[in-house]
């Protein structure tokens, strides 16, 4: 994650070589050069279907010599070094892979959202609505836009002192502001920061544990386990606080406070994600208003079935997160419109989606 581009891509190519060796001869694949779909979930300036230049790293990666280079070419070179006769046929963001899988199974899919370690979204847009495309020759009237919405920022976002401190102490300050309020990499740490402040300002948690000052020690799956603890004495909350922060014998009142903190942080994240989804639907006229430019009223609009593919552990494994997101969609759009918006959990867009896109281009 932090060494050189050769190390990273040689590792990927070696892993691929091992996979192909295990795959065996029973795969009925001809001996022709094989086409590869490459999912690369970082901001890229896409130059063609099979090439793109890395704009910047996110999610803790920081291989300096990679920025500004064509990531597909780097993989292609590594494949050649490892003696693999394969061609990178499609370079895909993970959101685009998820959209491809979603659309393959359900043609009403118009957008894809990733809500996992990080968060991002993409959607299907008319080419004439994309300013960057003006003057370019397009073979179809539509294009998938990778939004990189994790880096969205607005003064209207409900930012707290905890968010400001987390951002300042992160490896990428002033970047990925929206992601830091929503995704799995950060939610547990927001909760840790709130508990630390409560410890400093009250004796609710007894003597202050030094572990409370360690960034990212509270992982989001543990936060969700505390949030969803329904035992009468909240014993799972007590166990996790003891295991992670070494805070023993926490009174029930303090455990209840911790569950409430988890609830507030999760609910805010889910509602922000829902607002982002509605933003996309509004842009493409699927929010019941007929689009930003349409002057028709809601009453004379027939709302079409609209599917949003969603992938990522934070959404798929965290029931309360899903519940709060759906609740916010209903609230923003209104029940009558929201019932036409279907959120579908999608799996392995990064793998299957990239393969589908590579296959469609190679054919």
Residue 254 and residue 142 share a domain? yes
Inter-axis angle of helices 319-333 and 220-227, nearest 10: 80
Domain contains 319: yes
Domain contains 163: yes
Question: Read out DSSP for 75-126?
Answer: HHHHHHHTT--EEEEEEE-HHHHHHHHHHHH-TTEEEEEEESSSEEEEEEEE
Residue 328 and residue 191 share a domain? yes
pLDDT of residue 294: 47
Residue 81's domain spans which residues?
1-92
Q: For position 280, which CATH number holds?
A: 3.40.367.20
Residue 111 and residue 48 share a domain? no
Residue 144 and residue 29 share a domain? no
Where is the domain boundary, 46, 73, 92? 92
Q: For position 72, which CATH number holds?
A: 3.30.420.40
pLDDT of residue 148: 92
Where is the domain boundary, 33, 67, 92? 92
**C-alpha to C-alpha distance for 273 and 262, rounded to whole angstroms:** 17
Domain contains 272: yes
Residue 242 and residue 180 share a domain? yes
Where is the domain boundary, 60, 92, 124? 92
Residue 66 and residue 99 share a domain? no
Domain contains 352: no
Query: What's the token pair of residue 250?
Result: 């926490």
Domain contains 7: yes
The angle subtended at Cα 18 by Cα 15 and Cα 23, nearest 5°, is 125
The angle subtended at Cα 69 by Cα 52 and Cα 39, nearest 5°, is 45
Identify the residue whose tokens are 């509605």: 278
Question: In the chain, what's the furthest Cα-to-Cα distance?
Answer: 70
pTM of the complete model: 0.89
Q: Pick left, alpha or beta for residue 291 (phi over 0 → left; psi -120 to 50 → alpha; otherwise beta).
A: left
Residue 155 and residue 37 share a domain? no
Residue-wise pLDDT tens for the chain (363 aa)? 888 999 999 999 999 999 988 876 555 555 567 889 999 988 899 888 899 999 988 877 889 889 999 999 999 999 999 999 999 999 999 999 999 999 999 999 999 999 999 999 999 999 888 887 776 677 788 889 999 999 999 999 999 999 999 999 988 899 999 999 999 999 999 999 999 999 999 999 999 999 999 999 999 999 999 999 999 999 999 999 999 999 999 999 999 999 999 999 999 999 999 999 999 999 999 998 865 544 445 554 678 999 999 999 999 999 999 999 999 999 999 999 999 999 999 999 889 999 999 998 876
Mention every residue, 6+ apart, whose C-beta is less than 8 A from residue 19.
none
Helices in the chain by DSSP H: which ranges?
5-23, 71-81, 94-105, 161-169, 179-182, 184-201, 220-227, 235-245, 252-283, 313-316, 319-333, 335-338, 354-362
Q: Which of 283, 199, 295 is nearest to 247 (CA)?
A: 199
Residue 11 and residue 121 share a domain? no
Q: Tell me how many domains the chain contains.
A: 2
Domain contains 204: yes
Residue 101 and residue 85 share a domain? no
Residue 49 and residue 134 share a domain? no
Domain contains 150: yes
Domain contains 354: no
Residue 183 and residue 106 share a domain? yes
Residue 133 and residue 38 share a domain? no
């Amino acid at each position: 994650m932090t060494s050189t581009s050769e190390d990273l891509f040689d590792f990927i190519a070696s892993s691929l070589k091992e996979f192909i060796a295990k795959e065996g001869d029973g795969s009925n694949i001809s001996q022709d050069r094989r086409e590869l779909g490459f999912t690369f979930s970082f901001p890229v300036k896409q130059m063609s279907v099979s090439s793109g230049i890395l704009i910047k790293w996110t999610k803790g990666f920081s291989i300096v010599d990679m920025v500004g280079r064509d990531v597909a070419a780097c993989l292609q070179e590594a494949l050649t070094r490892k003696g693999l006769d394969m061609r990178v046929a499609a370079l895909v963001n993970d959101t685009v892979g998820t959209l491809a899988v979603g659309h393959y199974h359900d043609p009403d899919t118009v957008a894809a959202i990733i809500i996992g370690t990080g968060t991002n979204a993409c959607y299907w847009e008319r080419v004439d609505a994309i300013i960057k495309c003006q003057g370019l020759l397009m073979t179809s009237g539509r294009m998938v836009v990778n939004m990189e919405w994790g880096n969205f920022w607005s003064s209207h976002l409900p930012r707290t002192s905890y968010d400001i401190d987390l951002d300042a102490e992160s490896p990428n300050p002033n970047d990925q502001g929206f992601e830091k309020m929503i995704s799995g990499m950060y939610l547990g740490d927001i909760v840790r920061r709130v508990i630390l402040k409560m410890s400093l300002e009250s004796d609710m948690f007894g003597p202050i544990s030094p572990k409370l000052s360690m960034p990212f020690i509270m992982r989001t799956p543990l936060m969700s386990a505390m949030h969803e603890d329904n035992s009468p004495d909240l014993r799972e909350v007590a166990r996790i606080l003891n295991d992670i922060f070494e805070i023993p014998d926490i009174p029930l009142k303090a455990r209840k406070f911790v569950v409430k903190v988890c609830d507030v942080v999760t609910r805010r994240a889910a509602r922000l994600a829902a607002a982002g989804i509605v933003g996309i639907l509004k842009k493409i006229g699927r929010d019941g208003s007929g689009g930003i430019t349409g002057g028709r009223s809601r009453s004379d609009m027939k709302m079409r079935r609209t599917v949003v593919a969603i992938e990522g552990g934070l959404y798929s494994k965290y029931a309360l997160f899903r519940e709060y997101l759906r609740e916010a969609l209903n609230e923003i759009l209104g029940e009558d419109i929201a019932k036409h918006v279907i959120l579908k959990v999608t799996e392995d867009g990064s793998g299957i989606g990239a393969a589908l896109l590579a296959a469609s281009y190679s054919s």
